[in-house]
Amino acid sequence: MHKLRIKEWARIRETSVEIAEAIFQLADNDEVKAQQIWDEGCDEVLPIAFSKTDADILYWGEESIERKNV
C-alpha cells in the first residue's frame, strides 16, 4: 500500500503511522489482513513499530502503548 494511504488509514483509526506501517508489513500490504490485525491485535506489531521511531508512546486506536512495556 502506498505510504500516503497508510497514513490516511492510520489517521482514520487514530493509530500511530508506525503501527499502521508495521501492520501492513505483517499483512503483506493486504488491506483486509491489515484490518484483521488491527481489530484482533498481534504481538509482532509493536516491536516493529517501535523500531521505526524514537517515540516512547505509540497509539493503537484509543490505547496508548509505552516502549518500556514492549
Residues 6-62 pLDDT 10s = 999 999 999 999 999 999 999 999 999 999 999 999 999 999 999 999 999 999 999
Q: What is the pLDDT of residue 25?
A: 97
User: Can you give the residue range of the structural domain that contains 53?
Assistant: 3-69
Cα→Cα distances 65→20, 26, 30, 36, 45, Å: 14, 19, 24, 19, 11
Cβ distance 45 to 23 under 8 Å? yes
Q: What is the pLDDT of residue 18?
A: 98
Q: Return the H-helix or E-strand segment holding 14.
A: none
Number of domains comprising the chain = 1
**pLDDT tier at 3, thresholds 50, 70, 90:** confident
Res 1 pLDDT > 80: no
